[in-house]
Amino acid sequence: MKLSWKTCIRVGISAFLVYLGIHYWSGVSGVLKTLLGAAVPLIIGCFVAYLLNIMMGFYEKHLFKKATNKFIVKRKSAICLTLTLLTLVGIIALVLALVIPQLIDCVKLLIEKAPGAIETVLSYVEGLGIIPEDIFAMVSEIDWKSKIGDIMSTLTSGVGSAMNVVVSTVSSVVSGVTTATVAIIFAIYIALGKDKIGGQVDRLANHFLSKKIYDKAKYILSVADECFHKFIVGQCTEAVILGALCALGMFILRLPYAAMMGAVTAFTALIPIIGALLGGAIGVFLIFIESPMQALIFLIFIIVLQQLEGDLIYPKVVGTTIGLPGVWVFTAATLGGGMFGIIGMMASVPIAATLYRLLRSELNGETNFIPVKAESAPAVDISENTETENGQ
């Protein structure tokens, strides 16, 4: 094999850059951390845009499949994005309408029953004879002047730390709101220009990568896109089913806060496997305030429902949707949650489905590197856009 000067220069420059990166790793890592911190809103925006694109694909498939009007087709992305945002706002408003009123009633009930509960506990403790008889004599001997001085000095010294907490909290809230705003704006830009951005990325990859690497990378990304797409749709479907079953069961058992707990259970069910238990813990606490016996009934009900969800609903709905057997769904969620918490639990299932499908295709000799398309929201065909830009 004959080496060219260009190859030698590239190897020399690459080796020199690797040496600099290793020798000055502290500075390089600091720069990388700074860049990553600055890119957090953009990364979140890409993820939000991907979620928006799923619902936009649904509207594009069902509303604009046979559209021929050039004015409408040209503004298809803007119309679908508007419908998607309105749908999300409607869902959030519906959930808040179900949760907030009953939550307010629960807080009022807690405030009303708290004094009586405290008196009951004190009477019970007094009946046990735990409180000494000379307790009042001990109280009368306390130097209340010095105690009040100590309390005032404690409160005075605590003002500074309290102000620090307030300032830190306000700063965190402002930073979070700013990050969320930038992420949402960036997501909207991506969602509106997804066809053009897709065409540009495709042209760059096709130009700088060999055809074999390009086709393989495109195939892997298409498989990952389909698995993540179907996982998100399946997870939302499973959450709706579980929330509806929870509300229906509570109505049948005549338990309080049925509508609110149905919404809460549906929301927490977005967390794989353990979501129903998290929602159940909230329900047990709220119902216990009103009736301990009903809280016990709800606890038994939610455990049965969680077993049904973990053994039947989740593997069937999510596992079948992404083409991953139920045992591997459970394994991936368990390992991902153990290593990276809730985010790892949610991301591990589609990642495992992607690896499972790629490995199965490799073992069966089916790796023809033809990109696949998700059924619910077909991938954007950028070939025409690419040809148009090449023609330009």
Which amino acid makes up residue 16? F
pLDDT in tens, 247-277: 899 899 888 888 888 888 888 877 766 666 7
* Cβ-defined contacts of 90-99 (< 8 Å, 24+): 95/263, 95/267, 98/259, 98/260, 98/262, 98/263, 99/260, 99/263, 99/264
What integer pLDDT is reported at residue 380 of this predicted model? Answer: 39
Q: How confident is the model at residue 382 (pLDDT cuts 50, 70, 90)?
A: very low
In this predicted structure, the answer to whether residue 329 has a pLDDT above a threshold of 80 is no
CB proximity list for 234: less than 8 A, separation 6 or greater: 317, 318, 321, 322
Two tokens at 14?
Answer: 């690459």
What integer pLDDT is reported at residue 388 of this predicted model? Answer: 41
Rounded to the nearest integer, the mean pLDDT of the chain is 75
What integer pLDDT is reported at residue 390 of this predicted model? Answer: 41
23 three-state secondary structure: helix
Q: Stretch 117-121: mean pLDDT, rounded?
A: 57
pLDDT in tens, 90-115: 988 887 887 777 767 766 766 666 66
What integer pLDDT is reported at residue 164 of this predicted model? Answer: 62
Of the candidates 259, 226, 254, which has an alpha carbon nearest to the alpha carbon of residue 357? 226
Sign, CA torsion 14/17/23/28: negative
User: Above pLDDT 90, what percent of the chain?
Assistant: 1
pLDDT in tens, 156-200: 555 445 556 566 667 777 777 888 888 889 888 888 888 888 888
Q: How confident is the model at residue 128 (pLDDT cuts 50, 70, 90)?
A: low
CB proximity list for 45: less than 8 A, separation 6 or greater: 182, 183, 184, 185, 186, 187, 190
Q: Stretch 342-352: mean pLDDT, rounded?
A: 82
Q: Give the residue extent of every domain in the chain.
A: 38-61+69-144+155-192, 211-387
In this predicted structure, the answer to whether residue 41 has a pLDDT above a threshold of 70 is yes
What integer pLDDT is reported at residue 120 of this predicted model? Answer: 60
pLDDT in tens, 275-326: 667 778 888 888 887 788 888 999 899 888 877 776 777 666 666 666 777 6
For residue 4, report the phi and psi dihedrals to the nearest 5 degrees. -95, 165
Which amino acid makes up residue 254? R
| Residue 315: alpha-carbon gap to chain centroid | 19
pLDDT in tens, 131-167: 555 554 454 455 545 555 565 555 555 544 555 656 6
Report whether 357 contacts 363 (CB < 8 A): no
Look at the block and give the residue holding tokens 């295709």: 361
Report whether 330 contacts 273 (CB < 8 A): yes
What integer pLDDT is reported at residue 362 of this predicted model? Answer: 81
Two tokens at 213?
Answer: 């690497």
In this predicted structure, the answer to whether residue 204 has a pLDDT above a threshold of 80 is yes
What integer pLDDT is reported at residue 391 of this predicted model? Answer: 41
- CB atoms under 10 Å from CB of 284, counted, come to 17
Which tops the pLDDT comparison, 376 or 12? 12
Q: How confident is the model at residue 127 (pLDDT cuts 50, 70, 90)?
A: low
